[in-house]
Amino acid sequence: MLIATLALATMHGIVRYLSQDLHPFVIVFFRNVFGLLAILPLLASHGLKTLRTPQHKLHVLRAAMGICAMLSWFYALSRVPITNATALSFSAAIFASLCAWLFLGEIIRIRRWMAIACGLIGVLVVLRPGLEGFNAYSLLVVASTISWGVSITIVKKLSETDSAVCIVAWMAISLTVLSIVPAMIFWQQPDWQQLAWLALVGILATGGHLAMTHALKLADTALVMSVDFFRLIWTTLIGTLFFAELLDLWTFVGAAIIFASAWYIIFRESKIGLRG
């Protein structure tokens, strides 16, 4: 999981660097292309029969949520300090819990409601709406995390009938197709050096998610996700060293509140799952 946080934070740093010269939607397209290429060997080893699914509509909905999340996230990274974006991204588990309550009928008891409320307060601390330092583009990060929350909820439902390979493969294929039109509208031809960076973005994204998935198989979810806070440490270092972006106190406080709330939600869900 530590390797996963470093890979994903590095990937976000490269996206921030590339967005100085390339439109974020073009970066999204190439991230998906290279990400798809990275999983083709896995798909080939399992065969095309892996793509069979009874849940076509849910896959389409997840793809729609995924492309909305990715487009808004990558665009936000070009406009928002990378540490602020990372701090807000911890709220995905909070929004996923709300979506599971709204759409799957999952029961949320008082302690989890309190954790959700605290997490939303943490989001406001990072955003600081109406105060000096408020960045309207940070709302794109919130939109992205809400979309990811819906996507996570859909994955829960898909996992009842589809294999992990099927879910990942359909997502990679769908995102590649859906990212073509936005990229064409803002098309810029990357040079060979930029293509190398874009390939690294795809590799780091795929490698990071595979490392995270493997970690979740080896250990308790709450334990694994407690390491996710290192993403803020890595992005703080990247932001300071390469983009002259310093982590301010309120962003750190808000991030700590959001992360603690999200971790408690994950912890409660994992314990409830173990009890069946």
Q: What's the rounded Cα separation, in Å, for the pair 30 and 194?
A: 10
Question: pLDDT category, 258, cuts 50, 70, 90?
Answer: very high
Identify the pLDDT of residue 130. Answer: 66
Residue scoring higher pLDDT (267 or 179) = 179
Cβ atoms of residues 127 and 142 within 8 Å: yes
Which among 205, 64, 66, 82 has a CA at the least distance from the CA of 137? 82
Cβ atoms of residues 121 and 262 within 8 Å: no
Identify the pLDDT of residue 177. Answer: 94
pLDDT one-digit tens code per residue, 175-205:
999 999 999 999 999 999 999 999 999 889 8
pLDDT one-digit tens code per residue, 43-54:
788 777 878 888
What pTM was computed for the model? 0.87
Please say whether the dihedral angle defined by the alpha carbons of residues 52, 55, 60 and 61, taken in this order, is positive or negative.
negative
Identify the pLDDT of residue 170. Answer: 87
Question: pLDDT category, 135, cuts 50, 70, 90?
Answer: confident
Cβ atoms of residues 126 and 88 within 8 Å: yes
Q: Once rounded to an integer, what is the mean pLDDT over residues 21-43?
A: 90
Please enumerate in sequence order all residues whose Cβ is within 8 A of that of 49, keeping only pairs 6 or more positions apart, or say none: none
pLDDT(276) > 60: no
DSSP 66: H
Region label for 245, one of left (φ > 0), alpha (ψ between -120 and 50) or beta (otherwise): beta
Which among 247, 208, 151 has a CA at the least distance from the CA of 7? 208
Q: Mean pLDDT for the chain?
A: 87
Cβ atoms of residues 253 and 81 within 8 Å: no
Question: pLDDT category, 271, cuts 50, 70, 90?
Answer: low
Identify the pLDDT of residue 275. Answer: 46
Q: Once rounded to an integer, what is the mean pLDDT over residues 114-137?
A: 87
Q: What's the rounded Cα separation, in Å, for the pair 69 and 58?
A: 16
58-77 as b/e, with b when 16 or more CB fall inside 10 Å? bbebbbbbbbbbbbbbbbbb
Q: Domain limits at 184?
A: 2-275
pLDDT one-digit tens code per residue, 55-109:
888 889 989 999 999 999 999 999 999 999 999 999 988 888 888 888 777 788 8
The three state secondary structure string of 132-165 is CCCCCCHHHHHHHHHHHHHHHHHHHHHCCCCCHH
Q: Dihedral through CA 258, CA 143, CA 174, CA 210, nearest 10? A: -20
List C-alpha distances in Å: 130 to 37, 72, 275: 44, 22, 44
132-141, 165-174, 219-228, 239-248, range with the lowest pLDDT:
219-228
Domain count, the chain: 1
